[in-house]
Each structure stands twice: as C-alpha cells, then as structure tokens.
Amino acid sequence: MLSTLHNLSSLYHSITHLQHSFHTFREEMAPSPYDRAGETVEFLRQKLPESLAQPRVAVVCGSGLGGLAETVNEGVRETWEYKDVPNFPISTVAGHAGKLIFGTMGPQSNPVPVVLLVGRAHFYEGHSMEAATFATRVCKLLGVETIILTNAAGGLNPEYNVGDVVCLNDHLNLAGLVGEHPLRGPNDDKFGPRFPPLSDAYDIVLRQLAHKAWKEIRQQDASQRRMHEGVYAFVSGPTYETRAECRMLRNLGADVVGMSTVPEIVVARHAGMRVLAFSLVTNSAVLEPTVRADAPELQGLSREQLDEYLSRGKANHEEVLDAGKQAAVDMQSLVLRIVSEL
C-alpha cells in the first residue's frame, strides 16, 4: 500500500513538472508583445495610403462615445473591423463597435493624421492585461505621440453631476496593486524602462489645452455641463461597485470609478507617449450605506416596492450608453479642438 502511494506521488510530481516545463516552453516560444504589435503594424502599413500610415494622435472611444468618429475629416479615411486586423483583441461590449479608423482631424490647411479606436478590449471580458493594452502598443509602433482616452464612469465626487466631463489628473490602479498589472513579467526595453514613473502620468500641457478648449465650447453653448479635474479609480469589473466599495474609493481620493483606461495609460506612459484622458460621468455612485432590513420605512412594503426602493441610483449599462449619446456633441467638439492644437 505504501509503495503504491509512493509511486502515485512520484507520478503526480512528474506530471506537474512536465506541465510546468511545457508552460515555460510555450511562453518562451510565443512571439513577444513587441513582435506581435510589429506584425500588426506591418499589415496596416501595407494597406494604408502614405498620408495616413503614421498617425500622430490616437483617440480611444469609450462606452457610448463612438460618435467621436464623426470628428474625422471627410475624404481619405480607412476603416477596419478589429476582427480583420491580425492579433487584435475583439471587444464584446455593447457601445464598443470594434473599429480602427485612420484619417485626419482639424483644419484642411493643416490636418493632423489620427487613428481612432472605436471600442476597446476590457480585462473583465476575459482578456489578459497584455491583450487589453495591445492596441496601445500598436499605436506606439505606428508613430503615435499623443493618445487621448475617453471612458464612461461612475461619479463618486458628490459635486459631479451626470453628464459632467472629468479631465483625469491621477488614478488609483486597484487591480495593479493586487498583481494584475499590464507591465507584469519580463520588461521589453524596446517599449520602455523596467520601472516607469507615473507620478505625473497625465500631461499638464494637454490638460491646459483641454481647459482652454472647454472654455471656448461653453462660450458658444448654454449647456450646464461642467468639466472638472479628478482622480479615476480603476476596478476590474464586470460588476458595478457595492455601496461600501464606493465609499472606500471615495475615502481613498477617487472622484470617478470605471473598468478601463488605466492599463492603457500605464502602457502608453511606459512607451513614452503623452496622455490625456476624459471620463464622462454617466451615473452617480450610490454612497449611502445599504438600508437596514428592519428600517421602519420598509415595513409593510411589497416585494415590488422594495425592489423599486433599492434600485434608486443604481447604475446600468443602458444608462451609461444613453448619457454618452447626450454628451456626444460636446465630447466631439472638445477632442477636435484639442487635436487641432497639437
């Protein structure tokens, strides 16, 4: 009996060793992120006209903000579905069309070559951090110098209203702090250094341009939509945050919370790109503690009445998309004015 157990134990350890060796071999043989991004860039450049082959600016369109594609000038433009581009991860989320658009923005006298990413891959969809940030690395190898990222976010700051725009000036990378970091693993020096500083990741000159552009927009529009500067908390999702989590994030200094953008910012700064990012506040996070079951005001309510009471203020994806549609024109004007200044 002891001999049999010993043999089984030896067999188990042998199999485990083989599995580890195979996994290590597969990782060593797999193309590096740099090589995979280079392959994608080569594919795109073979098909792009020379005038669009080296975009200076990339714009990432977040949930419900695909209308930013309307800022691309009429005329010469190239569009690809993500599924038709080698190595590109596919987004499966409503409001993320999954398209690459190459074109120009700004005045015809001095157009700026751009690439728009209409939709992004998210970590919560099952993509690795490497896959979720792959498009950012492709942008770097295409020649992009400045990347402008947009997202839909929940408002934690009680002074923010639904529909307000937040120009990000810092972030909390909650997933990164617990090990799900886009730069985890061997560093590729061809992209950037092992330990990139992120204390000032959000370019201050670009933020100044954003405030200047917003002031011009407000002078032409009577809308009450405001622009703030604030801190974005990145959580992995896909669930929206609990009340306790919202209070924790607010106490940590976050003004908005969402499930994207920060991994892309980390990779963009690692690669030396200038970064500007905006959050559209699409819902106000519920900060009040959950109601006690023995609360007097709940006694005698039906199940339907209880559900209605508890649903007040809760986020849903349809609400996010609707807020994006309402703010689309202002966001388009904002991005167009900024790009025209670059």
| Structure token digits, residue 209 | 């341009």
CB 113 within 8 A of CB 65: no
Q: What does the alpha-carbon distance between residue 129 and residue 33 come to, in Å, rounded to a whole number?
A: 11
Q: What does the alpha-carbon distance between residue 37 and residue 327 come to, in Å, rounded to a whole number?
A: 33
CA-based nearest residue to 129, from 33, 204, 221, 63: 33
Q: What does the alpha-carbon distance between residue 333 and residue 220 come to, in Å, rounded to a whole number?
A: 11
Q: For residue 104, how many other CB atoms are within 10 A of its CB?
A: 23
Catalytic positions, please? 63, 96, 122, 124-125, 152, 259-260, 283, 317
Distances (CA, A) of 125 to 40, 87, 91, 270, 319: 22, 16, 8, 24, 20
Classify residue 331 by burial, with Cβ atoms within 10 Å: 0-12, 13-18, 19+.
buried
Q: What does the alpha-carbon distance between residue 121 and residue 92 come to, in Å, rounded to a whole number?
A: 8
CB 286 within 8 A of CB 246: yes
Q: Which residues contact residue 171 at a Cβ distance below 8 angstroms, ignoring those fewer than 6 apart?
A: 201, 231, 232, 233, 234, 261, 262, 265
